[in-house]
Structure 1
């Protein structure tokens, strides 16, 4: 009588973990849907849906791999491109679900568990280093041999276009701005993060831009591209240079 009861308790425990993980993955989907839809949003939602399927089927090895790999990919991506609060929230949820499942398989899949733990440590380390290194947007940046500060550029009233070299949605917007004002007389490109300043300057020059280029750790609202016209924020691939002209007439 004791043995069947013990098995039943274990199944109940598994079911409880499956429900917790399922709720976490549902939360991830909600976060990603609430955030601005980007290139990797669909992949994140797909990973969460797979996480729900494997959680309900009690296949914790796959849940652990999905959770840890999705979280690590997000952390590494943000460390290389730009900090995103919604991405970080989703990544933390992925990591929690992955950790819960990892605890269930650690004794059976020791090597895989160690590998997943190592990937997690590396990705979290990269994310932490990049966040602490570039958290202050007022940090001096070396540009053309001189220090430039984003918070104290020469013309503080000039509209600022925040962009990234790895942002697909930025390309059309950048081309439009460069075509309308290649000298940057009415706008200022701001490359994010700081580490991409040189690449951003090169990309702008290849498009024909001849003006000043500065950088920041992340844009207002942490979305790209972003146009800041004296505190009025425009976000997304639909941004046009005409917004600057409209702002001048107000």
Structure 2
């Protein structure tokens, strides 16, 4: 729905007698909306269905406890913790049977044969050490994100924020009035501010997430995703706001005005 949050009752209706696995993101990577993972896990456990959650977007931003979530499987990616790409974690609850992804020499407990990427593994281990010490300052990100939203809204009072709380503290998805995301992305990039017009793997296609939330293609194409990093400061927010004001002035208005949030 328009909230960006999966409805547990919809998951329940989708379950079939032959359903063996349900997978749900812990947090959406475009809108930052936190999903009802615990509730869906409880539903799946009651139905005898294995449950996996993709926690890639959430790691380092919100607390994650596999026992509290009740999941059978949970996946993470190193690059979300500033470790190299190509390294990650798959948590498997004891007693969960899996077939090997790659057969061969039996590395990684026989689940994925082949020489491990040791430098990336070491870097990911270091990233978890930093996370455990509180180096990523996720709690403060929400204050800066809200400041960024205030600055954006002041520049364009018709802008719409996509997704409802609770959300990740560092993620902001906004649809602009009379502008396309692609145009603003290019103009901001020329001004030293790097944002996204959707998920990284979607290319030029309109956001399937916003489309699934019931928004039209035009609104989906008018959207930018802005995310804050561990080193983002208030000065960075003010710099980005000034760059956005310049980018808005440099782009030609379209006739589209996003509908008000439902």
TM-score > 0.5, shorter chain as reference: no
TM-score (norm 2): 0.27
Higher relative contact order (CA 8 A, sep 6+): 2
